[in-house]
Chain A
Amino acid sequence: MSGDLAPAKRTEPEPIEAVAPESRVGARPRLGYLLALVWVVVGSVLYAVEVARLVIGRG
């Protein structure tokens, strides 16, 4: 193989920030935080319904 498709050089993997830290953010991320909290609570309650259904044998 040569050119484009040649074996790549070894490059040390580096950590990547896929989601920006909160300290650098303003109003929009606070909305995101609130949205995230609400979604996690709603999602957990919904899943609790499924678990209850499973436990009583209707799932």
Chain B
Amino acid sequence: MADLLAHVGLAALTLLAWLGLGSGVLARGPRVGDPLLDLLNRVGVGALSFALLTFAAGWAGLLYRAVYLPVFTGAALAGAWCCRSLVRSVPRPHLRDWAPWQLALLGLLAAYVGLDVLAVCAPISSPDALLYHAADPALFEKAHRIYAVPWNSSSYEPFSVEMLVLDGFLLWSPVQGAFAPLLLALVALAAVSGFAHRVAGRSGALLAGAIFFAQPFMVWEATSVFIESGIALAVALAAWNLFRFARYSERSALVLAGLFAGGAAGMKYLGLIAALTLAAVVAAVLARRLTPRLALAFGLPALAVALPWYVKNAVLTGNPFYPHLFGGLNSSASSELTYTKQSFGHGQSVLDFVLLPARLLADAKPFDGGQYLSPLFLVFAPVALFLRARTAVRVAWAGVLLYVVVWFVTTQQARFLVPLMPALAVLGALGILALAREGRLGRLLVVAVTAGALVVSLGASTVYAAQFASVVLGNEPKQQFLREKVSNYEGVEWLNRRLGPEDRVATDIWALFYLRMRYATFGTMGDLLPPDAGPKATRAFVAKYGITHVAILDRDDARRRQVGYLHARLVGRVSVRSVKSRTRGQYGRRHEMLVYALER
């Protein structure tokens, strides 16, 4: 419990540090007239600045706690100074004036923050985080520098959020790093609610916040060291700034919109799609008013913020868009990614596109966790369009549809819809309010459907978060928790006991984050050593990466054949199992992890 409070305290300081650094960066830069948006802009710019500073420090070999902590402390003090004046100027809400349903929604959001904090304080156990979102920052922290991780093509994605995760590692621990995506989600919640407040008042703010945040999908997303909450924040702030520009002709808001669009593009290639969608929306909003000067006001900041990541990839692989477009370093990475992408969803035909809304509501599991999405986005966001939508609603929907088309033809993972959620949440809130205003039947329907969906979502979210309670509250040992939640963890424990710092294991398991010795994989995404590689390539791989041991699952016939090409001695058989569902406690059949020592 003490740890939990300490993590929350440091997370609050992290927000202050983002605010402090962002206020410094924007002190003489573009500002907007809306005080809340201005505050969130400064927090967002601060987060982006920390990410880029960490990126630069990583390439300069300066990833030391002694370097990071003074910067963090100074920024947090500056943030606290900014807060002093804010606390005085912000009016206190009069909760007595709120309707009961508004208080209920506020309570619901508070409950979700509690569930999220509980889930994020558990030891990291999400497979993607163990493979790279947390595993790569851990490698960088250990080496005090950033370097290419060739066995994992995902490490060539723009990595801004992972830099913030790395900051948390430097601040205290991996769990503190895992707080970064949650903090980004919370700031995104503030942006969604704040913008909805501006267009639809308190009711709109609470409804949009609940649609965005009060769903099991967001609990999973924000607490599993994923990065999409960061893109959602960047898109939300870009869209709100764009709105300010369109409505009040604040050109500084256009600059900030560009800056956050670039921020999204610097978080993942997915963010680049979001940024290009935003650029298309900018062009649509400006239409005939579009001048080169305005285009540059949006484009230049976007380019400046995103560029470091693309230059890095161009230098490392010869292709700024590796591994998604134009080939490069490892051709099998590209083909494996294409294969993986096509495994999600129900298909890519025109009929599949027409059926997409129905499938996202009724049969969303093939979209990789889509069954945990809130239905309120899809049920109510179109309603805003049906009921005499103003231009802003139509433009927002056009942007949403453009992004959905690209998502549909590339990779149909529900997580990759998160960048749309801020816009859809506001549209959903507008739809709810508009329908409730149209007549008694509409009002009854709105209340029943919204309340029902929120109750179901809260139930599912509670079940999900409850699995972390015992380890966070100290009633379950960490190792026991990890054996239950992390695939093949018994194998990791065995390797940690038997292998030392001089050893380097090549493996095909995903739980890399918990390996204490040096490691390489055969290529968990984009094979470094293709399964059909012969003796020469296998020996070259072993020599290139200085492999001393191989740890593979007994069912992996291709790797076992390749081990046969080496002078290898079987030194261990460890019974392991994969975790099919952490929440439901479902496991795969037991296998053996075979460990070989290679003769040098």
Residues of A participating in the B interface, judged by any CB pair closer than 8 Å: 1, 4-11, 13-22, 25, 28-29, 32-33, 35-37, 39-41, 43-44, 46-47, 49-51, 53-54, 57, 59
Contact at A20–B386, with CB atoms within 8 Å?
Answer: no
In the A-B complex, list the 3 residue pairs whose CB atoms are closest, starting with the nearest. A43-B379, A7-B31, A47-B375
Which residue of A has the minimal Cβ distance to B388?
Answer: A20
User: Which of B2-10, B93-101, B251-259, B466-474 interfaces with chain A?
Assistant: B251-259
Residues of A within 8 A of B439 (CB): 22, 33
User: Which of B79-87, B106-114, B334-342, B428-436 interfaces with chain A?
Assistant: B428-436
State how many angstroms separate the Cβ of A18 from the closest Cβ of chain B. 5
Contact at B445–A37, with CB atoms within 8 Å?
Answer: yes
B293 in contact (CB, < 8 A):
yes
Partner of A16, one of B32, B199, B357, B433: B199
Whole-angstrom distance between the alpha carbons of A57 and B193 in the complex?
34
Contact at B386–A35, with CB atoms within 8 Å?
Answer: yes
Contact at A40–B441, with CB atoms within 8 Å?
Answer: no
Whole-angstrom distance between the alpha carbons of A10 and B33 in the complex?
4
B599 in contact (CB, < 8 A):
no
A-B pairs under 8 A by CB, number:
147
B57 in contact (CB, < 8 A):
no
Residues of B participating in the A interface, judged by any CB pair closer than 8 Å: 28-36, 197-201, 247-248, 250-253, 255, 293, 297, 357-358, 361-365, 371, 375, 378-380, 382-384, 386-390, 392-393, 430-431, 433-435, 437-439, 441-442, 445-446, 449, 452-453, 456, 460, 584
Q: What are 10 A-B pairs with beta-carbon distances under 8 A?
A: A5-B30, A5-B297, A15-B201, A18-B389, A18-B430, A36-B434, A39-B386, A43-B378, A46-B362, A54-B460
Contact at B449–A11, with CB atoms within 8 Å?
Answer: no
Task: Label chain B's interface by main secondary structure.
Answer: helix
Contact at B199–A18, with CB atoms within 8 Å?
Answer: yes
Contact at B252–A8, with CB atoms within 8 Å?
Answer: yes
State how many angstroms separate the Cβ of A23 from the closest Cβ of chain B. 9
Given contacts A18-B392, A39-B379, A49-B363, 14 further A-B contacts (CB under 8 A): A6-B252, A7-B31, A8-B31, A8-B250, A15-B199, A25-B388, A32-B386, A36-B442, A39-B383, A40-B380, A40-B383, A40-B449, A44-B452, A47-B361
Given A4-B297, A36-B383, does the pair A47, B33 have CB atoms closer than 8 Å? Answer: no
Which residue of A has the minimal Cβ distance to B35?
Answer: A10
State how many angstroms separate the Cβ of B294 from the closest Cβ of chain A. 9
Contact at A59–B365, with CB atoms within 8 Å?
Answer: yes
Contact at B389–A37, with CB atoms within 8 Å?
Answer: no
Please indicate which of the listed interface residues A13, A14, A54 has the most CB atoms of chain B within 10 Å of its own CB. Answer: A13
State how many angstroms separate the Cβ of B285 from the closest Cβ of chain A. 15
Contact at A33–B198, with CB atoms within 8 Å?
Answer: no
Partner of B29, one of A1, A57, A59: A1
Contact at B29–A40, with CB atoms within 8 Å?
Answer: no
Contact at B438–A18, with CB atoms within 8 Å?
Answer: no
Whole-angstrom distance between the alpha carbons of A30 and B198 in the complex?
27
Contact at A8–B364, with CB atoms within 8 Å?
Answer: no
Whole-angstrom distance between the alpha carbons of A49 and B365 in the complex?
12
Given A4-B293, A8-B250, does the pair A59, B371 have CB atoms closer than 8 Å? Answer: yes
Partner of A33, one of B28, B248, B297, B442: B442
Contact at A33–B200, with CB atoms within 8 Å?
Answer: no
Contact at A18–B248, with CB atoms within 8 Å?
Answer: no
Residues of B within 8 A of A5 (CB): 30, 251-252, 255, 297
Residues of B within 8 A of A57 (CB): 584
